[in-house]
Structure 1
Amino acid sequence: MNSFISPALQQWIGDSRNPTQAGLCAQIAVGFNRLDFGFIDNLLADECTYGSQSVLEDLEGREAVAHYLSGKLDTLRRSGASVLVRAELAQESMDGNPCVALYQRKSTFGKSGIGDLIGYTTVEVNESGKVVRFFTITAVPRPESCRRSGLFPGLDAETVERDKNFTGGTLPRSEEVTFVLFAMEGIEGMRDSVEGILPDFLPIHLDQKTDQDEACYHHSIIMFPTLDIVYEEQIVRRIEGYHPADQLREKLADLFD
């Protein structure tokens, strides 16, 4: 990993409350940014486990964790430009421990930039300096609570800037696009907002789901309300939380022609 260590990265590791953990986070981030499991493989202890708030059961043992992570990176690499994953060094908000903030750009439409912050990954280390546990936070505390450093190990500044400023194509105002709203029963605010802007986007239609609908699982919904913009069975944009109609219209302006 030495070729990826910049002065800023060295300082971040040195200033961390746990430099060993910070160094491991940096190497893990390189693996994600380069989509190369080789940077992560030798970090795993035999007793390593992997867990996530979005997965019911942990993976146990080095072989299972390695198979999962290498497969994930292989899949992302095969996806090409349609899916972008980026990893930024960060610190947990409560205790300041180093972690890896993960972004994913799920579509090439609109001003999608570097993508959505989908979670952050923490690591635990044994006495030999190997990772004994990965755990990914996706909901509580909110991923946005982590303190991000602006460091993306394994990427040069030009690449990071290009990713952050990425603007893709626009969607048609057609029946191929659906607004899918997930909201708790009896909570009408977001539905009113969506219905208020819908005439601007005709013939796009609204598909409403409650918090009890099976579609919540298939869309990986973690909070209500959530509005997904779906095109050709792909979630092009996700808007979480309540937004009045004017804010909602602004958040969608770059997405349509």
Structure 2
Amino acid sequence: MDVLVVGGSGLLGREVVRQARSAGRRVAATFHRHPAAIEDVDWLPLDIRGRDDVAALVARVRPATVVNAAYRQSDWATTADGGMHVAAAAAATGARLVHVSSDAVFSGGAARYDESCPPDPITPYGAAKAAAETAARGLDPSAVIARTSLIIGGGESLHEQRAHALAAHFTDDVRCPVHVTDLAAALLELAASDHCGVHHVAGPDAVSRHELATLIARRDGLDETRLPRALRAETDLPGPLDVRLDCTLTQSRLTTRLRGAREFLARPAAR
């Protein structure tokens, strides 16, 4: 098997599966509840919280590359332990590992974060992601750790759904969104390279969640003036306010161009 996508039924996992299949690769993908409707893929049920189950599946499939896009934000066992289980199984079989991490590993205390910045999480999810990174790097020093930010799709992402629902969006919560097609292409490119260690894979535009929702509304022909504004600082929601991933180093290693939200969400020019 060429590629095993763990978490293949999620937004990012599905796109990695599609692109790998389009490139003619043999693809297996795992799902927790339901497989995605993508043909010519070996769909395999898996709960990555089970170490022995993960090891047995990877040993049976024998993939050349494992892309781990699985997580559950409120579940340490899935995000941290599961990430460790996948890394251990990949290392045991000699598979090339690309582990998808998150900007949630940072507190937001720095102006920007490049690949040399150590994690300093302030939420349980961020701590789980940081723990998974540590496990992956310890078990397989040749692995790629790909930190990303808010992932936007063709209407499928939670952020797009919230914009369409006219939910309140924070004006003081800043991230560097990335389009799912760019992210998936970058992950597969990194998998095929000889690079290892931490890579930041996000868009160059730092935008607030409210600006992001506004861009989505404009693209989709919605009334952007109906989007409510809010301040995250005035809520008790945990998490950093402003996390900006510096992807300069990673972008210099890629032929895949990581577009910013203001570009990939721009409305098509009228003909």
Q: TM-score, normalised by structure 2?
A: 0.26
Q: TM-score, normalised by structure 1?
A: 0.27
Larger relative strand fraction: 1
- Pick the structure with greater CA Rg: 1
